[in-house]
Amino acid sequence: MSITKTLLGRRDLADIISTVEFNHTGELLATGDKGGRVVIFQREPESKNAPHSQGEYDVYSTFQSHEPEFDYLKSLEIEEKINKIKWLPQQNAAHSLLSTNDKTIKLWKITERDKRPEGYNLKDEEGKLKDLSTVTSLQVPVLKPMDLMVEVSPRRIFANGHTYHINSISVNSDCETYMSADDLRINLWHLAITDRSFNIVDIKPANMEDLTEVITASEFHPHHCNLFVYSSSKGSLRLCDMRAAALCDKHSKLFEEPEDPSNRSFFSEIISSVSDVKFSHSGRYMLTRDYLTVKVWDLNMEARPIETYQVHDYLRSKLCSLYENDCIFDKFECAWNGSDSVIMTGAYNNFFRMFDRNTKRDVTLEASRESSKPRAVLKPRRVCVGGKRRRDDISVDSLDFTKKILHTAWHPAENIIAIAATNNLYIFQDKVNSDMH
Amino acid sequence: MFARGLKRKCVGHEEDVEGALAGLKTVSSYSLQRQSLLDMSLVKLQLCHMLVEPNLCRSVLIANTVRQIQEEMTQDGTWRAVAPQAAGRAPLDRLVSTEILCRAAWEQEGARPAPGLGDGHTQGPVSDLCPVTSAQAPRHPQSSVWEMDGPRENRGSFHKSLDQIFETLETKNPSCMEELFSDVDSPYYDLDTVLTGMMGGARPGPCEGLEGLAPATPGPSSSCKSDLGELDHVVEILVET
C-alpha cells in the first residue's frame, strides 16, 4: 500500500488534545483538549493563485467550552477535559456542535459575521448618538463588508443527567435527538430540551458490589434512528432497538467473540474491553477497538467478527508491565474512511496504523515533527521483535509508551486524516490516492 | 504472610517454626507472579486519586482481575487465612514492582497534607475506592486491632500499609472483594449527617466506628476502615477549608 502523505496542517496546541472530529462535509475539524477548550480548523479552499496551499487547515475559532467545576457534595473536582465533540448536520448558515466533559453536554452555535450595517440616522460610526440638529436628510442603512468574525455561543446546556462519567455522545440520524452514555447508563435527549432526558439503558446492578461490567462507548446507527449500539468492558457489543421498549436493557443483538482458551491470562478481560465502537458509513458493519486489535463486525452475524486486525501484537508478552504502568487501560479510538474500505487506529510511539480491508495490507506510520514538512512522504515504520532487524526498525523495548495516539479522525469524503499526538495535531493527505477508492 | 522462596526440606518432618510455614509447598514462579500481580492490583485499587473521581472502568477491571486471582488461588488451595503475626515478613524482592508503583504514587501525592487522623489512607482496598460515601456498618475486629497497633506516621511507610492490605486480604474470607463497590453509589450525605451518624436504617454512623475500636462481635463482613476513611476525608476537608 503506497501512501504519500502531505502535511496539511500541524499545530502545537496549548494542552493535550482529548478528541478530534471532522464535520459532515470535512470542511471543519474540531479538537477538544484537556483544558476545556475547543479549537476549530477550517479548510482553505484550494485556489489557483496558490496551488501549493492544497487546501490546508487553519484555525477558524477557539473558545472555552467547559470550565473546571467542583462537586461540593462529593468534594471532588469535575474535570473540564472535553471527552467528545460531535457535529450536528448543518441546517442553515450556522454550524452547531455538541461538546461534553464528564458531566455536562453543551450545544454550541458557530456563526460568521462578515457584514455590518452602516449609515444609521441617529447613531454615528462609533455608535454615539448624533446631534439631531446636524441631521438634515434621511438615509437607509446599508450592509457593508467587514473582516470575518466568527462568533460562538452556547445555545443549550444539558446538565445533571449523569451520575457517572460521560464517555460518548452520538447525534441521531433524525437530527432531533442525541444520546449520552456514561459508565452505567445511557440517556436520550432532545436537542431543544435541557431539563429532561430519558434513560434508555441502565446496567447499574441493584447492589453495587455486584458490578463487574461497565459501558465503554456507544453510537447511534447512521441511518436507522431507532438503533444504537453500546460496548462493554467485557468485550461485548449490544445492539438495541428503541422501538422494542422504553428501557433498552434487553438487547436486540449481542455481539461477542468466544474467548480463545489458548490465549487466556489474567489480563484477558482487560485487553478485551472495547475502547471504541464506530458504525461504518454504510451502516452494515461496526468497527471495534480493544487493546491489541481492531475488529470488523457484520450486523447480521453476532457470533464473531468478520475481520480481526492485529494492531500491536508484540505487546502481548508485555501485558504485565503495561498493567503495572497503567498503559493497559489506554483507550484507543478507531476510524473508517469514507468508503469503509480502510480502517485506522492509533498506537504507541506516535505510531498509527491503517488496514486496507480489500487488499489486506497494512501500514504503520509515525506522526512526528521530523516528518512534518509540508510535502513530506511518510515512511512506513516497522517494529521488530527480535530476529532480523532492518535499519530503521524500532525494537519493542525502545517504544515510547508516553507517546500514544488515542484520537484519530478521517475526513468523510477524502483521504485526509487528523492525528492527535499529545499536544500536536497533524493533518495528512494522501496525494497519490486523493479520492476514495 | 509466609516467606516465599523457601523450599521445604527434603527430610520427612520439620518443626513449624512459624505457623505459617506449615504445609508450605514449593513455590513455583507462576505462584510468585500471580501473587505479585495480586499485590499490585490491590495497591492500584487503594491508590485512587482523591481529588478527582476514580475511573470506574479501570477500577472494575482491576477488581475483576483480583477476583479471578482469588478464585484461582481458592481452587489451588493456596488461599487461606494466615496467622497475623506472620505478616510483614515477605522478602522485599517480591515487592519490587509494587514498591516502584507505590513510590511513584507517593511522590505524586507528596504535596498533599498527611491525613490528620492517620487512618485515612493506609487501609485496605475497600475504603479508598470512593472516599466520600455513606458509612458502612460494623467493624471487623481483626482490622480494628491492626489499625490500633501500627504507628500512623505517614503514607511513606509503604511496608506497613502493604502489610495492612495483606492483612485485610488474609483475615477476610475471599468474598471480601464484593465489598469493593458497596459504597460507590450510595446517596450523598451532608456533613452533619455523616458526623452525627444519623444514617437511618440498620447502618450505624462513622462516629460509632471511631469510638468502637475495641474488638466487638464480628458483624457482617464489611470493614470499619471505610467508616474511618470517610470520616478522615470529611475532617480533612473541614480542616483545609
Sorted by where each begins, the domain ranges of chain B are 18-78
Q: Which of B50, B56, B223 to mutate to test the interface with A (most CBs of A within 10 A)?
A: B56
Residue A189 pLDDT: 98
In a domain, A129, yes or no: no
- The pLDDT tens digits of the residues spanning B68-98 come to 999 999 988 776 543 333 334 333 333 334 4
Residue A12 pLDDT: 75
Binary contact (A266, B188; C-beta < 8 A): no
Residue B125 pLDDT: 40
Domains in chain A: how many in total?
1
**What is the domain-level CATH number for residue A69?**
2.130.10.10
Residues of A with CB under 8 A from a CB of B: 73-77, 79, 102, 163-165, 183-184, 204, 207-214, 216, 233, 266-267, 269-270, 273, 320, 323-324, 326, 329
Angstrom distance (rounded) from CA A356 to CA A362 = 6
Sign for the CA dihedral angle at B65, B66, B67, B72 comes to: positive
In a domain, A386, yes or no: yes
Residue B229 pLDDT: 61
In a domain, A434, yes or no: no
Of chain B residues 187-206, which have a CB less than 8 A from chain A? 188, 190
Q: What are phi and psi of A67, to 5 degrees?
A: -110, 155
In a domain, A119, yes or no: no
The number of C-beta contacts closer than 8 angstroms across A and B is 82
CB B143 within 8 A of CB B225: yes
In a domain, A134, yes or no: no
Which residue in chain A has the smallest CA separation from B188?
A: A73
Phi-psi label, residue B124: left if phi above 0, alpha if psi -120 to 50, beta otherwise: beta
Task: Give 10-residue mean pLDDT values along chain A (437 residues).
Answer: 63 88 97 96 80 78 94 87 97 96 97 91 84 87 92 97 97 97 97 96 94 98 97 97 88 92 91 98 98 98 96 95 96 97 96 96 89 75 81 89 97 95 91 50
When comparing pLDDT for B7 and A149, which is higher? A149
Binary contact (B183, A75; C-beta < 8 A): no
Angstrom distance (rounded) from CA A99 to CA A230 = 19
Angstrom distance (rounded) from CA B219 to CA B167 = 18
In a domain, A118, yes or no: no
Angstrom distance (rounded) from CA B8 to CA A418 = 61
Residues of A in contact with B132 (CB under 8 A): 74-76
In the predicted model, what is the mean pLDDT of residues B137-166?
37
Distances in whole angstroms, Cα of residue A28 to Cα of each of A31, A55, A62: 10, 12, 13
Angstrom distance (rounded) from CA B69 to CA B31 = 10
Residue A366 pLDDT: 92
- The pLDDT tens digits of the residues spanning A278-302 come to 999 999 999 999 999 999 999 999 9
CB A252 within 8 A of CB A240: yes
Residues of B in contact with A166 (CB under 8 A): none
Please, how many CA atoms are within 13 Å of residue A48, restricted to the half-sphere of its CB?
A: 0
β-sheet bridge partners, residue A152: A110
In a domain, A131, yes or no: no
Give me the domain span that covers residue A202. 2-104+161-429
Predicted ipTM > 0.95: no
Residues of A in contact with B179 (CB under 8 A): 209
In a domain, A406, yes or no: yes
- In the structure, what pLDDT confidence band is assigned to residue B122 with cuts at 50, 70 and 90? very low
DSSP conformational letter for A129: B
